[in-house]
Amino acid sequence: MGSLSQIASSLVLRVSDVIIGRVKLSDGTDVALITAAGELNVLALPQTSGGLSIFRSIDIDQTEEAVKASAGQLYDVEAFNTTAAPLFLKFYNATVATVEVGTTTPVKTLLVPGNADSDGAGFISNSFHGQAFSTAITVACTTGVADNDTGPPGANACIVNVGYK
């Protein structure tokens, strides 16, 4: 299969019970785009640039922090809790300057489970298409689920890594 730079501009589609497509490569050969079984052939090519940006905090707390200071998309969250009680990671579609934890309503609240021992607990959440934030991406962590909660987690209790664009 060729790279996009090798693919010629012609794409032939035939319609019967299913759409069967073929892509003609620059060397004159062609390959199936969609098989007779309805499967779409997709190949992800590794790239050295253009991936997600990473926000990292080993002490996210009730003081809001900027993941991205302008509009963006949230793709993945890895959050870990080193305490026995659950914590709540809160995302805001607003800039740090306009977020007041306990007053500003988060657009996304995620439970970071407590752990039964000293090993920590947490979760990994992925969104293939990303979740849109039209203003900015801001995050904070509190000890209570309520939007008006301002309870501070302990030092280094909530650890978060965020993949965004």
**Residue 77 near residue 133 (C-beta atoms within 8 A):** no
Altogether, the residues listed in the chain come to a count of: 165
pTM for the structure as a whole? 0.73
CATH of 54-164, one of 3.40.50, 2.40.128, 2.60.120, 3.40.1440: 2.60.120
pLDDT at position 27, please? Answer: 78
Strand ranges of the sheet holding 108-112, from the earlier edge strand across to the other edge: 65-68, 137-142, 87-92, 108-112
pLDDT at position 39, please? Answer: 66
pLDDT at position 98, please? Answer: 95
pLDDT in tens, 2-47: 444 444 444 444 444 454 566 667 777 776 666 666 666 666 677 7
Closest CA to 163 of 77, 43, 57: 77
- Return the structure tokens found at 46: 């590794």
Domain span(s) for CATH 2.60.120 in the chain: 54-164
Residue ranges in 65-143 assigned as alpha helix (H): none
Half-sphere exposure of 13 (CA within 13 A, CB side): 5
pLDDT in tens, 118-155: 677 988 999 888 999 999 999 999 999 999 999 999 99
